[in-house]
Structure 1
């Protein structure tokens, strides 16, 4: 992970179900790991800068909403939809760029964001 990388703690209902979703549906690299030598979890490499620690335990700094940056939101949307991901919101334009939203089986929300500058210089 790069020094400017992000690490998110995400609570899931079942590690095995989460592993299957993140690896097979999302196509993200996953690895079984232990946190502090005592907590079983899954480390997910979401993108070049973003890692997610999946655990069945609650964490003080956990989140249930993660923004994943993309160079092509429409391509990601089509790829994930073909893998069975159900989207809450289809790609739409926001002031920040083009985005689409989905949830994992545990109800954690993800936003795919293709940042765009709509101001012409």
Structure 2
């Protein structure tokens, strides 16, 4: 059986991202390994508390030889527009989760809205990655 274990988002600063994901979103560190033999490459993975196997890797944008300066600049431009990634978070109690995140300093760029699939709103992390916070309602026929 094949499973998803990690996904990644590009981040400008791994320490800033780590603080946001752990202090504001309440995630926990799943891996934080620096590999000196690979130019101090850092594998930093976080996830919501619990037994889920899926983690988000907070990946610094590499330079040469992996990415040229032009490619790195293109990634940074997409991040600034908020189109380089999208992460969907679900909750069983939307308004409690929304208020908890706001109280921790998460700045929402959209107010909660009732939609055909549930309650939904958006925010971005310090690097510009888009998030959706949603309480999905049961859809007929599924």
* More divergent stretch after superposition (24-33 vs 82-91): 24-33
Q: What is the CA distance between 1:52 and its match in structure 2? A: 0.3
Give the structure with the larger helix fraction.
2
Q: What is the CA distance between 1:25 and its match in structure 2? A: 1.0
Q: Which runs of 5+ in 2 are unaligned?
A: 67-83
Contact 1:29 1:44 in 2 (8 A): yes
1:13-24 equivalences in 2 (<5 Å): 13-24=12-23
Root-mean-square deviation over aligned CA pairs: 2.5
Aligned counterpart, 2:81: none
Aligned counterpart, 1:101: 122
Note closer, same or farther for the CA distance 1:107–1:91 as it changes in structure 2 (3 Å cut).
Answer: same
Q: Does 1:33 align with 2:37?
A: no
Note closer, same or farther for the CA distance 1:64–1:103 as it changes in structure 2 (3 Å cut).
Answer: same
Larger Cα Rg: Structure 1 or Structure 2?
2
Aligned-partner Cα distance in 2 for 1:103–1:90: 13
Q: Which runs of 5+ in 1 are unaligned?
A: none
TM-score by length of 1: 0.79
Aligned counterpart, 2:46: 44
Aligned residue-pair number: 114
Secondary structure of the 2:33 match is: strand
Give the structure with the larger strand fraction.
1
TM-score by length of 2: 0.69
